[in-house]
Every structure is written in C-alpha cells, then in structure tokens.
Amino acid sequence: MDKAILIRNADHILTMDDRRTELFGADILVTGGKIRAIGPRLGQAGAEVIDASGCVVTPGLVNTHHHLYQTLTRAVPGGQDALLFGWLQTLYPIWSRFGPEEMRISAIVGLAELALSGCSLSSDHLYLYPNGSRLEDTIEAAAEVGLRFHPTRGAMSIGESAGGLPPDSLVEAEAAILEDCIRVIDAFHDPSEGSMCRVGVAPCSPFSVSRELMRDAALLARDKKVMLHTHLAENDEDIAYSLEKFGCRPGQYAEDLGWTGDDVWHAHCVKLDSSEISMFARTGTGVAHCPCSNCRLGSGIAPVREMRDAGVFVGLGVDGSASNDTGNLMAEARQAMLLQRVSRGADAMSAREALEIATRGGADVLGRPDCGRLAQGKRADIAIWDVSGIESAGSWDPAALLLAGPMKVRHLLVEGRQVVRDYGMPHLDLGAVIARQNQLARQLME
C-alpha cells in the first residue's frame, strides 16, 4: 500500500460533500488512494506530512470536455477570429498531418496544464485518427502525467465528398469506427470504483456522422456499459443545420437516437430551449459547459442558471485548446461565474457554486460519485491552493477562490499521489515536454 499522507492544518477546507461542509484548521488523512479521515488534529505515525497552513483545500477539479490534441494548434492565425464552421475548416488540414507522437505529446501538455490549474480528472474527446494515431496515445499520456482519465473514442464519418465539413482524409468508415470502439473499451475501460481510466463512445457531432452511427454508438455504449458524449446545440448555425437536415431541434434528435440518460453528456448546449432543458433534467442527461470556448467562438451564453435550477447535471470543460486557447480549469470556473452574471445579474451564480460545478458537478456528469468531493471513503483527489500570496492579500474570504485567486494550484493529489508539488510536477520533465511540443508545432507550420 502507498505511504499515508497527512494534509495538516488547512486554513479552510471546502469539502463539497453532501452537506457542503466547510472546515477550518482541519486535516485530511489519505491512505491507499482514498480519504481515510477528515477533521481536526488527525495523527498517523509515519505519514508524509503536507503543511496546508495558509491554504484553502478543495476537491480536485474535473474537466468534462477537451480535445487535448489541439494544444498543438493554439492561436493559429487563420482560426483566431473565425466562427465555428470556418474555424474548423482552417484547422482540419493541419490536424490531418498529425500522427501518434503529436497525439501523445499534445495530450501530455494539455493534461499537465490542467493539473497545474488543480484538475485531477479529465475527459478527452478525440475524434480524428490520422496517420496511425490511436486512442491509447492519449491514455499513455495520462498515465505519464498521473491524472484520472476518461478518454472517449470520437469519430467523423461524413467527409467533404459526402456533403460534410471535414476533408475525406480525416473521416473513417462507420464499421471501422464501431470496431475500434469495441477494441479500446475491451482493452482500457475500467468500470471499478477508483478507476483511473474509463473509456466512452463519442461521435464528433450530429453534423459529422450519420444518423445510423449515432444510433449504433448508443446501442454499443449501452451494451458495453460505457458513457456517451458528443457536441450538441453549440450555436445558431448548429440549430439551423439540425432543423434543415433532420427536421427537428438537437434535443429531439438526441432523444430519438438514444442519446439521453445519466450515461450521456453533451458539450456546450448553449442553445438548448426550456423544453430541452426539462428533458435533460428528466432523463439525467449531463452538460459540459465550456464558457471560454463559447466566448472565443462567439457562440453565446449557455443557460446554466436555468439548467441548474431545473436539476440538470452540469460540469465544466475547457474545450480544445484551439478554441480557448488556454487550459486552466480554475479560470474556466471563474468565466462560468462571470458569464451567468453578465446575462442575469450579480446574484446569478456565487463563487462557491461555480467551484461546486467545477468539482462535484463535473464528477457527477462523468458518473464518478467517488470523486469531486472530500469525504471519508472518497478518492484522494485533492487540490491545495496557497492563499498567502499576492492574489489573496487583503481577501476577507480567501475560500471564494474564484473572486480573487490564485489560478494555479500549489499541490495536487490524484488517487493519493502527489502530481503537483510546489507548483511543479515531480514525475514529469516539463521542460523537455514543452520543447518537443514546440518543435512539433514548428514542423506543422512549415
């Protein structure tokens, strides 16, 4: 068994447990990857001690939507100011030159960036596999970084010649897609409690695969007891496309094809109407809210207040780095709070509620009640924020982390293992990773 860890004397612990308990001057004892105890003056002979005085402690943050490979195409000039569809068309030819090493290095960069912002669990949506790339390129990256990982086997099957958006070189035959979904689920999906890797099935969006593949993907996911994920109702063009091609709104399309339920989560959902929100609440369907991406691409403001009030499961996603272009989940949570306020007033969302969405909310969306909260028996995914620095100086409530800061985590534990220590990553040569990533980016620019 791993050595015990004692997080000692935290100024303030936001547990996000069922009663949203907040503790002051308390400790957390971790053994075997789980939280053994939480409370004042805990002791454990021989435990490694992390001094958390001057710190706020929260559950590790949960990222419910990303395209890690896109860290290699941040701030591409032709895509900087384009709308969604034009943006995609700028980037597809670049992505078509990726291979296994691009997938692996870009995933390490994206996951390390998330970890440094306090994220302990991330999903990923990889929907293109050029030049021999495979889902396991990213699974290996997550193991190297040490994050809990929910990769999804994405796909596109309708290329340009069939009236779709992506070039034909980036689409796959639908039979091959389903076959590879089965392969990666059988090889890598671990349904057990405390799992470090769960695989999902995730056709890219209703406009890049057929109705049949959407339906078959849902049947396959149910058969294999894995989750389903896609992009839905992202912007006005998306709604217009759905009405024109399918004769219905995206919510109806999803429902007709089996894409609702507590084993499904959809990214964006900016344009869901009130009946779609009720349907999501009724069916337990989750939402990955991506506020920075929605701002960056001018998609609009997702009705998160209405969703939460209706009882929809909502988590946060930084989305792919080509549409954010940063991957700081703490900054994403702050943006989520600000965006509800700009449209609905200053009391629309508190800092603590946004942090709850970023932790417990995301864990619930991903079907992980064992994560996203600090309580006895839960997984030891713990973020420790130093509030003795400049950002918090003068703060009357440092635990309202999203109002003042900091935006970078001091220490991060994942399954009881210290992935971030004093703002660095002891198990990863970050300098070498960054150098290789920049080298690969330069090759793609040529």
Q: Is the CB of 102 or the CB of 319 nearer to Zn ion? A: 319
Q: Is the CB of 165 or the CB of 380 nearer to Zn ion? A: 165
How many residues bind to Zn ion according to rule CB under 5 A? Answer: 1
- CA 360/CA 355 separation, integer angstroms: 8
Residue 4 is classified by DSSP as P
Closest CB 65 distance from Zn ion, rounded Å: 6
| Nearest by Cα to 257 from 324, 210, 188 | 210
Closest CB 204 distance from Zn ion, rounded Å: 9
Binding segment (CB under 5 A) for Zn ion, from list 37-45, 182-190, 313-321, 408-416 = 313-321
- CA 170/CA 131 separation, integer angstroms: 10
Which stretches of 154-257 are DSSP H helices?
Answer: 174-188, 211-224, 236-246, 250-256
Contact between 84 and 111 (Cβ < 8 Å): no
Q: Is the CB of 12 or the CB of 271 nearer to Zn ion? A: 271
Q: Is the CB of 202 or the CB of 383 nearer to Zn ion? A: 202
Tokens, residue 189: 């999906």
Q: Minimal CB distance to Zn ion: which residue?
A: 319
| Nearest by Cα to 374 from 121, 58, 147 | 58
Closest CB 156 distance from Zn ion, rounded Å: 13
SS3 268: strand
Closest CB 293 distance from Zn ion, rounded Å: 7
* Residue 340, amino acid: Q
Residue 298 is classified by DSSP as T
- CA 128/CA 94 separation, integer angstroms: 12
Site residues for Zn ion, window 125-144 (CB under 5 A)? none
* Residue 294, amino acid: N
Tokens, residue 177: 């897609």
Residue 277 is classified by DSSP as H
Q: Is the CB of 123 or the CB of 392 nearer to Zn ion? A: 123
Q: Is the CB of 319 or the CB of 356 nearer to Zn ion? A: 319
Binding segment (CB under 5 A) for Zn ion, from list 100-108, 316-324, 353-361, 386-394 = 316-324
Binding segment (CB under 5 A) for Zn ion, from list 99-107, 238-246, 315-323, 423-431 = 315-323
Binding segment (CB under 5 A) for Zn ion, from list 202-210, 317-325, 360-368, 402-410 = 317-325
Q: Is the CB of 16 or the CB of 217 nearer to Zn ion? A: 217
Binding segment (CB under 5 A) for Zn ion, from list 19-27, 222-230, 318-326, 438-446 = 318-326
Contact between 290 and 301 (Cβ < 8 Å): no
Closest CB 181 distance from Zn ion, rounded Å: 19
Residues that bind Zn ion (CB under 5 A): 319
